[in-house]
Amino acid sequence: MIPSIHKRGSETIGLIKYLYGPGTDEVHIDPHLVAAFDPLTPDPGRDPKATYEQLEHLLDQPVNALAASKRPEKHVWHLSVRAAPEDPILSDEDWAAIARRMVAATGIAPDGDEQACRWAAVRHADDHIHIIATLVRDDGRRPRRHNEARRAQAECRRIEVDYGLRRVPPGDGTAAKPPTSAERHKAQREGREQAAREELRETVRRAVAGAMSEEEFFDRLAAAGLLIRKRVAPSGDLLGYKVALPDNRNGEKEPVFYAGSTLAPDLSLPRIRKRFSGGSAPSSRSENAPSSRSPGPAAARRSTATATWRTLLIIDNGDDAQVAAHIAAAGEVLDALAKTSAAHTRTELREAAFVFERATRSHIKAEHGHDRALRQAARDLVYSGPALGRGEDGATTAMAIDMVFFLVTAAAHWHAKKGHAQQAVAAHEAAEHLRTAYQAAADVPLGLLYQRGQRLSQPLRQKQAAHLRAAVPELAEQILAEPGWHALAATLADTESAGHDPAALLTEAAGRRELGTAGSISDVLVWRLRRLADLPADATTMPDHTPASAKGSRRAVSPAPSRDNQPRKTR
């Protein structure tokens, strides 16, 4: 349950007309009073004799009783309380009880205080109520509303427990503003998958991903088809920006613009500039666009895996400001992956990026500059272009997702350790989407490696098992029992053919973090070895280790087991 304290107003009648009216997009259904400071309060929604002016007069009476010079300029207090979409529909009686708890918790009308502020709670939708109050008590004093937002949040957490509603982690004021009911209903009416606010936030985030200058950022916004308004000072300096979807119009058929800061706190122009200042800005417009030197999709994904691994070390050992910057840059990598990956992984990657956005902000101030490698990886992904879902593109996509999964999980642990509840939940949710995306990306390349491993001669397979027992004796038997062992055996053979010491390389790969918590240790080691040894991720490009005597009988080899039947990662 989410409470939102809105800006104070100066006209009680204006808010009353909005609450009882059809709403911005005619989404208010059956507006009516569910509770008020006085049981006899007139309800213009259900009583045909009651008027808006009567309700206004009753609420404003303590304000009007003051001398004009002593009346507060903005005396109208407004709180909305919204249930989660999956919560059951509450009755009017339930909402009335919730309204009384909220005005008591915030100091508007403490329990038993007969001189408290006057208030009324209006319901015009299934999932929320609005509470209007006037900020002068019946005794002429002002209410004590110190920390009202925090107390409203705490009361909502208790209400969730009492009514069996979805438990929302406590917030810290760094979340992006969710779409309003009007925005959501408008999206449904127009057949949009997302509310305009969410679609714009996602598009702006993708424009930020790896961008190195304001010029590049705005060029990307324009290329994405957004309408842009820039706020320019008389000196010519750029102060801010607004964006709109071309087909999202208001009642006057004008585009509905949103400032970057209203989409998310870190999408304001000053906050975006801090990301640019931490990197090496392109020196000219030509460097803002793809060039012949831009890496291909496979190379960009391989470098992303490498940059991600280095980031893991920083999250483990860096100071808080550096970690915060790297987690923000991880969000850019996810946005870039979602934008450029093949269709069979794109949906889950997009969902991962969407929910991880919440994990990229906290009250710990990010120190940009140290995140340059990760932001460059995001830039390379964007400019490398769309990846195919097969061959080296597809296999390196699995490699990158595998490593990003570790990064997102590490971010979840860091946030949990810092007490950032909402951010930790968001990162864990993103990890689940990445897990699903990984299964889709890894199915074919690991299946091919499995088949190659099955075709290894018995002596060669025993040799790789000996390397395994020497490198990770405590995990060797578990790995040998995994379905993925055959893929790992083939990879060990590939490292040896490439001139590496398989046991030494395996020791290095196995010494990395969280290996013991992996659902499929074989999978993790395959991608680490192929990255460390600079082996192609796609096994079809490697020489076959099948003995000559066995090459004529390949049809007898059983196919690789379905990836759906293999243990999933629970790192």
Is the confidence at residue 7, as pLDDT, over 80?
yes
- pTM here is 0.78
Choose between 129 and 294: higher pLDDT.
Answer: 129
Q: What is the pLDDT of residue 180?
A: 81
The vertex-501 CA angle with 500 and 506, nearest 5°, equals 105
**In the predicted structure, residue 571 carries a pLDDT above the cut 50:** no
What is the pLDDT at residue 511?
A: 73
How many angstroms separate the CA atoms of 408 and 214, rounded?
28
Alpha carbon distance 510, 470 (integer Å): 11
For 120-158, b/e burial (b = at least 16 CB within 10 A) is bbbbbbebbbbbbbbbbbeeeeebeeeebeebbbebbee
Say whether 247 sits in a helix, a strand or coil.
coil
Q: 224-279 pLDDT, tens per residue?
A: 999 999 999 999 999 999 999 999 999 889 999 999 999 999 999 999 999 987 54
Q: Is-contact 36 131, C-beta < 8 A?
A: no
- CA geometry: angle 220, 222, 226, nearest 5 deg: 115
Q: Looking at residue 284, what is its pLDDT?
A: 41
Share of the chain above pLDDT 70, in %: 90
Tell me the per-residue pLDDT of 269-312, one tens digit each, with 9 for 90 and over. 999 999 987 544 444 444 444 444 568 999 999 999 999 988 98
What is the H or E stretch that residue 438 is in? helix 421-454
Lowest mean pLDDT among 87-91, 175-179, 510-514: 510-514
Query: In the structure encoding, which two tokens stand for residue 183, read together?
Result: 């925005």
3-state secondary structure of 564: helix
Sheet holding 258-259, edge to edge: 227-232, 238-244, 258-259
Whole-number Å distance between alpha carbons of 83 and 102: 14
Packing angle, helices 148-163 and 92-105, rounded to 10 = 150
- Tokens at 116, concatenated: 């408290």
Asked if residue 349 has pLDDT above 60, the reply is yes
Longest dimension (CA), the chain: 104
Alpha-carbon Rg of the chain, whole angstroms?
29
Pairing of β 32-36 and β 76-82: unpaired
Supply the mean pLDDT for the chain. Answer: 89
* pLDDT confidence of residue 90: 96
CA distances from 407 to 379, 494, 566 (A): 18, 27, 23
Q: Domain ranges for the chain, please list them.
A: 2-163, 181-288, 297-445, 450-565
Helices then strands, counting H and E runs in the chain, come out as 20, 8
End-to-end CA distance of the chain: 31
CATH 3.30.930 fits 2-163, yes or no: yes
Per DSSP bridges, beta strands 128-134 and 2-5 are unpaired
CB 482 within 8 A of CB 524: no
List the strands of the sheet with 76-82, edge to edge. 2-5, 76-82, 128-134, 119-125, 32-36
Q: Which pLDDT score is estimated for 513?
A: 57
Listing DSSP states for 299-352 in one string gives HHHHHHHHHHHHHHHHHHHS-HHHHHHHHHHHHHHHHHHHHHS-HHHHHHHHHH
Confidence (pLDDT) at 544: 65
Average pLDDT value for residue range 140-169? 92
> Cα separation of 538 and 92, whole Å?
60
